[in-house]
Structure 1
Amino acid sequence: MKQCCLLIIACIAALSSRAQQIYGRVADAQTREALPGVTVRLCHAPSGCTTNSAGRYELNAASADSIIISFTGYISQRIPVEQAQKRSVIYLQPSATNLNEIIVSSSREQQPRTTAPIAISTVSSQQLNEAKPVTLDQVLNKVSGVYMVDLGNEQHTMAIRQPIGYKSLFLYLEDGIPIRTIGDFNHNALIEINMAALRNIEVIRGPASSLYGSEAVGGAVNFITSAPTLVPTAKLQLEGSNWGYRRADFNISSTVKKLGFVVSGYYANQHNGYMDHSDFHKLALTGKLVYQANEKNKWTNAISYIDYKTDQTGGLDSAHFFARDYKNFQTFTYREVNALRIRSTWEHTWNNTNHTSFTAFFRNNRIGQNPFYAIKDVRGTPKAGGQINSDGFNSYGIIIQHKKQFGWKQAALIAGLSMDYSPASFWADYIDITKDAAGYYRSYIKTDSSLTDYNVGLLNSAAYTQFEFVPLTRLKVVAALRYDRMDYNFVNHLTPSAYTGAPSERNNFNALTPKLGLTYDLGRDHGIYANYSVGFAPPNISELYTGVKVPVLKPATYYNCEAGGWMAFAKGKGYVDLSLYYMKGSNEIISVREADGSYVNRNTGETSHKGIEWNIKYTPIRSLFFRTSGTYALHEFKAYEDGAKVYTDNQMNGAPKWITNTELTWKPSFLAGFRIGAEWQHIGDYYMDPANTSKYGGYDLFNARVGYEWKGFECWVNAMNLGDRLYATTAEKSAYGKTYRVGPRQTFNIGIAYTFTGK
């Protein structure tokens, strides 16, 4: 009898103990994605447990009345035990003013921002959601030191620690993989990004060649796509503008046991805009499957497809620009893009100190166009010449990376290999163009004259390594080294007398790019960093072979020194992030506008780039958010001659000294879900030509955004260029004259959305 009583008591105790076990999941309140590594502990307890790869936790709460949930970059929550037991998913809200957010682009592995000795900024999922950008420049220009130039209909170019230009000095990545093959750069490459699929964006300013290779000189922009949500979600979004812009977005996502999926995309269409011949359409689709086999194995498969076509609009001369005459003299020019990217990544965690990832990828890309910039008048006649061309490539590549952590001085080693083979082709045919008395290019006739016709077998191979350790308390040292080799196998199908008459040949370029950096934690969310890095930019295929008889370009090399620091305000009200840099370029390839309006690429002797960048976020009261970011920089030719013209010590053209973006947002506590914000974008004056004979005065734009969310429904109005300011996104001068690319007029984007969230 006694033994039976003891057995019953033991069973009751076991059941009672089990009744106190708390099971749950933790997810991001913005993206609904599972959050692994979240700390869950009992109130007043020094330790607890962390969520697994699926965001799950299990905690014995027998002796506490509440639990505390915390994670880097998120607002901590304290929840009563009874309430936690009833909630199957706990959503953590990202902190809009948190300094130490998690990043992945600095080392290809997750790490806190304050441990990375580089200038890096993040456009968060919350910023993307609230800004509702119709073009990426509307969010990237919020990043300090970044000026993404709007060329209309998602066309663009970039300026990060560089003047406005069209050079291959920026690397664009999707989930850490370049969206185009190295050696076939296109300044319009971000047309190939699906904005509806983005979770956040990370921007590295300055050379990142030690990890990502060539072209990562002025900066690297990593577009990180959404992962499957923890619970079933579906979103539909519709918007339009007063200038004929229409767009529909969708997103469907969920996780069932070990398999998660997300499908997202959008269709945009522009018709009858403020400028003649400026229509476009774009279809963007992305799908992702994630199979979490167990805690040690994860398999991710993703596919993206872009179908895009736009009318092309050129710049205006001074008379038409300042008269606000938005005529487009090109009536048939176009650009069309088809891009397909597929990747498969297997991640394996061997133990607590070893992690390996293997990625295989495929890219198929084609850009066809009848470019406005290729049109050249035939003097004395109502005729002009131009071309229709097509540039395409396939890529077959792999990336293998292993990370090893050591028990000594918190040391870690990352080593990787990458290779991709990308056979590319380019052809261009001459066209005869008819021009009327009013100056419009009305029609064209195809001819049998081939300007360019070649194939290039492009092979990129690289090995890289990064070592980090903590030699002293609060001091972290990071050293990286990468070797790149690029091989071109050029086959010209035309005769030497053709426009592109370069002989068939093989060329190769290689570079060893190091980086050494350190961070020092001063305590209380204060710290400093410094680094030295080298960037490498070999000539692109088009720079080497198109329109030349013999390749004459040399690789460009950049040597960069920078230092910076960060300081958080008391009580988590915000932070200041500061960077100072000096970068010296040798053999820099610049785009020079010729007298006939065409562009050629040339090596300069030397250039220098130096500046200061800042980012400040501050919340004086709980409902008011202030942010300002910007740069003051000086870009100069240090040794540059163009024939008899000497530009040494001149400021580089297209290089505004001041670029700033300031924003104030109010989210009243008495009206949950409502937001209203104002934004000021300032671009300072800059020289329009290397001779420094003419200046463009820059511009100031004012934007406003208002939105409201309620029970899954959302509506918003974005007012861009409130004062209908006349401005140019680019302004250039050559012997041909001055040319201004007109910036968008006053625009009102109105949208509605509904998001379904399951349990």
Structure 2
Amino acid sequence: MSLFHALPRLAPIGLAAVLLLLFLPPDAVAQSQSTTLTGTVRSAADESPVSSASVRVTGDRGSTAFTDANGRFRLEGVSAGAVRLRVERIGFLSREVSISVDTAAPRPVDIDLVPEPLLLQGLVVSASGELQRRVETPASISRIDADAIREVNPTHPAEVLNRVPGVWVSPTSTEGHMTAIRQPITTKPVYLFLEDGVPTRSPGFFNHNALYEVNVPQSGGIEVIRGPGTSLYGSDAIGGVIDVSTRAATVSPRMDATVEGNSLGFGRLLASASGTRNRDGLRLDLNLTEGDRWRDDATYDRQSLTLRWDRELGQGQNLRTTVAWSSIYQEDPSVVTRSDLAENPGVNYHPITYRSVEALRVASRYERRTENTVLQVTPFLRWNTLDLMPSWMLGFDPVVFRTGHNSLGLMTRVHRQFLPGMRGRLTAGVDLDRSPGSRVEDRIDVVRDQGFAVAWSRGDRIYDYDATFLGISPYAQVTLNPVVPLHLNAGLRYDRVGFDYRSNLAPLASGPHQRPADTSVRYDNVGPSLGAALTMSPELNFFASFRESFRAPSEGQLFRQGSAANTVDLRPVRARSTEGGVRGQVGGHVVWEVAFYRMDVRDDILSFVRPEDGLTESVNAGRTRHQGIETGVSLALPAGFAADVSATRASHRYLEWSPRGNVSFAGNRVEAAPRNLASARFRAPLPLARGHVEAEWVRMGSFWMDPQNENRYEGHALWNLRMEVELAQGVSAFGRVLNVADRSYAERASFNAFRGEELSPGKPRAVYVGLRWGWGP
């Protein structure tokens, strides 16, 4: 069914949003008609605009204005004469200023806010959907800001995300990836990927490579919640939540460009144009990338465009619209043997395999702020297609397929202050998603020459079906501050999700490509969350939380039955997580954190590789347990020196899993689950120029490659170097060397009895150089 046919069904959603808007409490209505005062709020530290600051006249219960993404505000109903403005924003010291208002010709007001002098506090959004101090958040949450992303200039998301304690992202190709956050390194649908708080894909059509559909190097920041998300997040958010934000427009016109290349054939152009006129701020980001060519017949081409439009509507209202498009084509290289990993890692046994991705997302968030209430309504559209000949299946089940889905959805959220004596805040909302999708898959016949796949022809059609995902998820979350140092959090989320499945081929009950009959499946889940954060002093903060989450089976797990006896009866994955931690700082120069967690997962959906033919069966495992400790330390040293270290020690075990009657993995460690992960960086200023140099060490520990715990990958450690120097005003040169020692290693490693050891080679030494220009203030 097309998106246009779906619109009548979603009309009640739009009506509900309109009614919610119309029946806001009376404090949402502006009162005075005297005059309108305009102005800008900036940070006193660097003169950057301060968004979401409240501006009001003291002693007046009239309107309150809120600054937009460019720090601008319009305060209506201001009386003539001497008035006193109060300006407040989380993360800054509140300020009051006295001004004289002339109703005939009111002059704009510029106000500077001083940042709070607390290195520990930090500001995050993902935990509650609203800006809040990190010390008030009972969750393991980290933020990588836009400046850090710019300095790293990542060619792969792993280069920035692996700096976060407890996070490991393994590249699978140029920008493809597998993720490990409180889980093994996996492609399973246990992570929720967002852009500006909106899921990049429908929960029913998970893609473990979702970050390559997002323009990470030009983003405005990344937030990572480790472990199940708060009540704001439903299916997928078991291992963690990764939210990538877009960048707002600059106040004055500005253009930026970055050109770079490396010794392995990589080339990239990043270009941006930005500015604000009157009430409209516009930003355009362009990413043109040509990937490394160090592996045989493995090209990569990417084009991405992000457009963001911020519109100030007045009376505390604003509109933010984003359009994000990515087109990616790559030839998908094969895994290699142990001997080739050491001697010829660039070899590609499958030069015929490929991947083609098209992704388009449009989201428009309407926000209305009053003194006690924030309303956010975000309708969104998504179009995703993937054409793939999977390299990893070419040796035992060669196929080519096209899959995709379209989405029409709505996210509605209200934040409301209550119980002023306890600083109570209620966040309530509902997420709706309707995503029709499809899969068409054919067997292929492969021509081989001396072990290399050199040609192919299309064979029989094995799958051809439509599957429509439907989801509705209301939730509520309450935060209280009963006494100054204590912040309490409680939430509840109800998810009702499912699929309507219709096959264009007859059901098939035998063979390696079985097909289920037409059916509908539905899943329900009620997930509670509890948390507490205790600030003993500005230098010491404790937190603890309990959360239950779930993950409904994805489209491929349910309806691409394969050789399994039954997949449409797969049960949802359910997780129960407890965690605690402490965050602190010493003298304003050392920031540290330690988090402990334990997560029990039942009905985990695992892939059992049949030893007789190498085919996989998706089955519900009994239980798995994931527990560990995550640590991070950052040091701001004198004279511009800095260092940071992160380390993780984890255990991942099967408590119950018998894929066959005579096979049990209970008590074994989960495969592809390193016990140890670590990284460290040291940064120093350049002695004779304006710039810096950074040395980085990253380590992945050893792990079992099979559930039998008989074959082990030894792990690896790598050194990287980065440098940037300013050449002139607005012009800088940079360089980096990845894998300085040119070590042979595997980004992922597995073993099964039918195919043996399979290793995905990591990139050899790569030397990058580039130039960055900026025009405008």
Which residue of 593, 605, 609 maps to 1:589?
A: 605
Q: Distance in 2 between matches of 1:237 and 1:30?
A: 23
| Structure 1 counterpart of 2:421, one-letter code | W
User: Which residue pairs with 1:254 in the alignment?
Assistant: 275
Change (3 A) 1:473 1:75: closer
Answering whether residue 345 of structure 2 is matched by residue 319 of structure 1, we say: no
Which residue of 674, 679, 694 maps to 1:677?
A: 694
Which residue of 191, 207, 211 maps to 1:190?
A: 211
User: Which residue pairs with 2:30 in the alignment?
Assistant: none
| Structure 2 counterpart of 1:256, one-letter code | R
Answering whether residue 425 of structure 2 is matched by residue 412 of structure 1, we say: yes
User: Which residue pairs with 1:606 in the alignment?
Assistant: 623
Answering whether residue 457 of structure 2 is matched by residue 440 of structure 1, we say: no
* More divergent stretch after superposition (186-195 vs 492-501): 492-501
Change (3 A) 1:244 1:75: farther
User: Which residue pairs with 1:123 in the alignment?
Assistant: 144
| Structure 2 counterpart of 1:417, one-letter code | V
Q: Contact 2:593–2:633 (CA<8 Å) still a contact in 1?
A: yes
Q: Deviations over 1:643-698 (max 9, x none)?
A: 12211111111111110111111125x65630100000011111111111111110
User: Which residue pairs with 1:134 in the alignment?
Assistant: 155
Q: Distance in 2 between matches of 1:127 and 1:308?
A: 26
What SS does structure 2 have at the residue aligned with 1:700?
Answer: strand
Q: Contact 1:303–1:340 (CA<8 Å) still a contact in 2?
A: yes
Which residue of 207, 210, 218 maps to 2:231?
A: 210
Which residue of 394, 400, 403 maps to 1:388?
A: 400
Q: Distance in 1 between matches of 2:111 and 2:731?
A: 21
Q: Deviations over 1:129-157 (max 9, x none)?
A: 11110111100000110110111210111
Q: Contact 1:209–1:215 (CA<8 Å) still a contact in 2?
A: no
Q: Distance in 2 between matches of 1:702 and 1:423?
A: 45
| Structure 2 counterpart of 1:451, one-letter code | I
What SS does structure 1 have at the residue aligned with 2:171?
Answer: strand
User: Which residue pairs with 1:458 in the alignment?
Assistant: 469
Alignment of 1:709-728 (within 5 A): 709=726, 710-728=728-746
User: Which residue pairs with 2:33 in the alignment?
Assistant: none
| Structure 2 counterpart of 1:309, one-letter code | Y
Give the Å deviation of 1:322.
2.9
User: Which residue pairs with 1:705 in the alignment?
Assistant: 722
Q: Deviations over 1:313-364 (max 9, x none)?
A: 1211223223334211101100010000001111112x31111111100000
| Structure 2 counterpart of 1:405, one-letter code | Q
Q: Distance in 2 between matches of 1:703 and 1:452?
A: 45
Q: Contact 1:209–1:217 (CA<8 Å) still a contact in 2?
A: no
What SS does structure 2 have at the residue aligned with 1:642?
Answer: coil
Answering whether residue 379 of structure 2 is matched by residue 360 of structure 1, we say: yes
| Structure 1 counterpart of 2:291, one-letter code | Q
| Structure 1 counterpart of 2:462, one-letter code | L
Change (3 A) 1:74 1:576: farther
Answering whether residue 524 of structure 2 is matched by residue 510 of structure 1, we say: yes
User: Which residue pairs with 2:679 in the alignment?
Assistant: 661
Alignment of 1:571-582 (within 5 A): 572-582=588-598
Q: Distance in 1 between matches of 2:706 and 2:260?
A: 40
Which residue of 262, 282, 286 maps to 2:306?
A: 286
Q: Contact 1:28–1:35 (CA<8 Å) still a contact in 2?
A: no
Give the Å deviation of 1:757.
1.9
Q: Distance in 1 between matches of 2:89 and 2:692?
A: 25
User: Which residue pairs with 2:485 in the alignment?
Assistant: 474
Q: Distance in 1 between matches of 2:322 and 2:246?
A: 10
Give the Å deviation of 1:189.
1.2
RMSD: 2.9
| Structure 1 counterpart of 2:326, one-letter code | I
Q: Contact 2:52–2:89 (CA<8 Å) still a contact in 1?
A: no
Change (3 A) 1:428 1:23: closer
Change (3 A) 1:426 1:519: same
What SS does structure 1 have at the residue aligned with 2:232?
Answer: helix
Change (3 A) 1:706 1:76: farther
Aligned residues: 701
User: Which residue pairs with 2:15 in the alignment?
Assistant: none
Q: Deviations over 1:485-508 (max 9, x none)?
A: 112111011112382420100110
Change (3 A) 1:588 1:209: farther
What SS does structure 2 have at the residue aligned with 1:210?
Answer: coil
Q: Deviations over 1:92-124 (max 9, x none)?
A: 999999221111100011101111100001111
What SS does structure 2 have at the residue aligned with 1:565?
Answer: strand
Q: Distance in 1 between matches of 2:154 and 2:110?
A: 30
User: Which residue pairs with 1:8 in the alignment?
Assistant: none
Q: Contact 1:97–1:618 (CA<8 Å) still a contact in 2?
A: no
Q: Distance in 1 between matches of 2:325 and 2:473?
A: 27
Q: Contact 1:209–1:535 (CA<8 Å) still a contact in 2?
A: no
User: Which residue pairs with 1:105 in the alignment?
Assistant: 126
Give the Å deviation of 1:57.
9.0
| Structure 2 counterpart of 1:119, one-letter code | S
Q: Give the gaps of 5 or more residues in structure 1.
A: 1-20, 41-48, 59-68, 78-86, 378-384
Q: Distance in 2 between matches of 1:308 and 1:484?
A: 33
Which residue of 344, 369, 384 maps to 2:388?
A: 369
Answering whether residue 421 of structure 2 is matched by residue 428 of structure 1, we say: no
Answering whether residue 585 of structure 2 is matched by residue 568 of structure 1, we say: yes
Which residue of 288, 301, 322 maps to 1:267?
A: 288
What SS does structure 1 have at the residue aligned with 2:637?
Answer: strand
Q: Contact 2:155–2:217 (CA<8 Å) still a contact in 1?
A: no
User: Which residue pairs with 2:643 in the alignment?
Assistant: 626
Alignment of 1:129-208 (within 5 A): 129-208=150-229
Q: Contact 1:340–1:363 (CA<8 Å) still a contact in 2?
A: yes
Q: Distance in 2 between matches of 1:156 and 1:31?
A: 37
Give the Å deviation of 1:510.
1.1
Counting aligned pairs with the same residue, the percent is 27
